Structure 1
């Protein structure tokens, strides 16, 4: 029982701290500094990780691909709209930035899913 509580606490802390961690990593990797943020990307990331955790716990691993694919489709349209500026370097860097954030989010969600699934096994 104590082990389950510890694993649950670690999982919850890992989930709550994942947003600031990903934001920090992306800030280090980006040459552009965002002066203001409406935190929508942060909220999307938390929802994305929660869905990954739930699908992992439920054993619906293919549904995790659906979360990533749906996010990619929406982001692709955003990048396609930037063609009016004729700045391919911006598109490539923005794509890399988005891909890094998505992959970090997926990794953290899967690690969290493993932690929470351990609770049900123990």
Structure 2
């Protein structure tokens, strides 16, 4: 019981710090600077990870595909506006920036969801 409480607390901490962690990676990997005034992308990321965690805990893995599908629609629309980059080691396209953030968010959300689904009470018996 105590181990499960500690695990849920750890998952909560990881969830709360996932936004700044993803933002740090995006800043390091990208020459594109997205506006920081509205924080809409950060909020979308938190909601995305929360949905992923909920879907994993409910064992509704196929529902995670809805998140990926909704982001791919956004990426398809942005592809028409992407500039060509001269720095191959940096992500310079807006759609790739969004895709990288989405994949990081998806991965972190899945890891937290899988971590939260561990049940230590079955190990004691």
| TM-score (normalizing by structure 2) | 0.82
Deviations 1:54-94 (A, max 9, x none): 111111111101111112112322333x27xxx34499622
User: 1:7–1:119: 8 Å Cα contact kept in structure 2?
Assistant: no
The equivalent residue for 1:62 is 62
Alignment of 1:1-122 (within 5 A): 1-34=1-34, 36-80=36-80, 82=81, 87-89=83-85, 93-119=93-119, 122=122
What is the Cα-based RMSD across aligned positions, in Å? 2.3
Listed as ranges, the gaps of 5+ residues in structure 2 are none
How far apart in 2 are the matches of 1:101 and 1:114?
20
How far apart in 1 are the matches of 2:102 and 2:34?
18
Deviations 1:24-73 (A, max 9, x none): 10001112344633100000000000110011111111110111111211
Which segments of structure 1 move beyond 6 Å, counting only runs of 4 or more? Answer: none
How far apart in 2 are the matches of 1:13 and 1:46?
13
Q: What's the secondary structure of 1:118's corresponding residue?
A: coil
User: 1:49–1:109: 8 Å Cα contact kept in structure 2?
Assistant: yes
How far apart in 1 are the matches of 2:77 and 2:8?
38
Count of matched residue pairs: 118
| TM-score (normalizing by structure 1) | 0.84
How far apart in 2 are the matches of 1:78 and 1:34?
14
How far apart in 1 are the matches of 2:96 and 2:121?
37
